[in-house]
């Protein structure tokens, strides 16, 4: 699985959009970009994933660059409950392919 690079920490004011970047310059053509988050003392929570098109669901939007070497997770209106560690993972979908977690980005949402 390709490696990812994320900033170690970010701050965001409540109500503002949180934009979390991720670099995955060695991504392969059949690898998807997945985002998970882990709120303190809980298991990671799936947020969203995509291959090459931008994706949106009830939690977030995922913007993938045309060359697929980087992506951005957008939380449109961050709340205090979005404070968590966010992990960007690239993975071949299907098959027995594990999730390789990096160190993630610790997002702190403040009042």
Binding site for other proteins (CB under 8 A): 34, 36, 41-46, 49, 87, 93-103
Cβ atoms of residues 91 and 28 within 8 Å: no
Nearer of residues 13 and 39 to other proteins, judged by Cβ: 39
Please, what is the minimum distance in Å from the beta carbon of residue 73 to other proteins?
14
Nearer of residues 54 and 93 to other proteins, judged by Cβ: 93
**Helix (H), strand (E), coil (C) string for the chain:** CCCCECCCEEEEECCCCEEEEEECCCCCCCEEEEEEEECCCCCCEEEEEECCCCEECCCCEEEECCCCCEEEEEECCCCHHHCEEEEEEEEECCCCCCCCCCCCEEEEEEC
Please, what is the minimum distance in Å from the beta carbon of residue 95 to other proteins?
6
Nearer of residues 15 and 46 to other proteins, judged by Cβ: 46
Q: What is the token pair recorded at 69? A: 């070497």
Nearer of residues 25 and 93 to other proteins, judged by Cβ: 93
């Amino acid at each position: 699985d390709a490696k990812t690079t994320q900033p170690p920490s970010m701050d965001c004011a409540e109500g503002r959009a949180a934009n979390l970047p991720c670099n995955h310059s060695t991504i392969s053509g059949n690898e998807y970009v997945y985002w998970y988050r882990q709120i303190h003392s809980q298991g990671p929570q799936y947020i969203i994933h995509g291959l090459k098109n931008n994706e949106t669901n009830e939690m977030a939007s995922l913007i993938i660059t045309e060359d697929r070497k980087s992506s951005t997770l957008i939380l449109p209106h961050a709340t205090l409950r979005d404070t968590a560690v966010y992990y960007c993972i690239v993975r071949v979908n299907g098959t027995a392919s594990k999730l390789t977690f990096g160190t993630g980005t610790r997002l702190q949402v403040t009042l």
